[in-house]
Structure 1
Amino acid sequence: MQPGDMGWVVSRQTVLYTQEYGWNGEFEALAADIASRFIREFDPARERGWIAEMDGQIVGSVFLVKTDTPGTAKLRMLYVEAAARGHGIGSRLVDECLAFARQAGYQRITLWTNSVLADARRLYERAGFQLIEEKPHHSFGHDLIGQVWAREC
Structure 2
Amino acid sequence: MTYIAHRHAVVYYADYGFENLFESHMSRYTAHFLDNFDPSSERCWIAEREGQFLGCIMLTKDREVPGRARVRCFFVEKTTRGLGIGTMLVETCLAFAREVGYERVGLQTYEELSSARRLYAKFGFRIMKTEEEREEWGRKQVSEIWERLL
Partner of 1:142: 139
CA distance in 1, matches of 2:41, 2:27: 21
The alignment of Structure 1 onto Structure 2 pairs a total of residues equal to 148
Residue by residue over 1:32-90, the C-alpha shift from the partner in whole angstroms, topping out at 9 and shown as x without a partner, is 12101110000000100000112320011000000121100000010100001111001
Per mean C-alpha deviation after superposition, the further-off stretch among 76-85 and 49-58 is: 49-58
Post-superposition offset of 1:100 = 0.5
Partner of 2:13: 18
Give 3-state SS (helix, strand or coil) of 1:149's partner: strand
Q: Give unpaired runs (5+ residues) of structure 1.
A: 1-5
CA distance in 1, matches of 2:52, 2:94: 24
Partner of 2:122: 126
CA distance in 2, matches of 1:30, 1:113: 15
CA distance in 2, matches of 1:42, 1:121: 27
Task: Please tell me whether residue 39 in structure 1 is matched to residue 34 in structure 2.
Answer: yes
Identical residues among aligned pairs (%): 39
Q: Which amino acid aligns with 2:97?
A: A
Q: Which amino acid aligns with 2:137?
A: F
Task: Please tell me whether residue 91 in structure 1 is matched to residue 102 in structure 2.
Answer: no
Give 3-state SS (helix, strand or coil) of 2:142's partner: strand
Q: Give unpaired runs (5+ residues) of structure 2.
A: none
Q: Which amino acid aligns with 1:116?
A: E
Q: Which consecutive segments of 4 or more residues in structure 1 shift more than 2 A? A: none
Task: Please tell me whether residue 28 in structure 1 is matched to residue 29 in structure 2.
Answer: no
Give 3-state SS (helix, strand or coil) of 1:44's partner: coil
Q: Which amino acid aligns with 2:26?
A: A
Per mean C-alpha deviation after superposition, the further-off stretch among 80-89 and 47-56 is: 47-56
Give 3-state SS (helix, strand or coil) of 1:32's partner: helix
Preserved contact between residue 91 and residue 123 of structure 1 (Cα < 8 Å): yes
RMSD over aligned Cα atoms: 0.8
Give 3-state SS (helix, strand or coil) of 2:7's partner: helix
Q: Which amino acid aligns with 2:143?
A: G
Partner of 2:77: 81
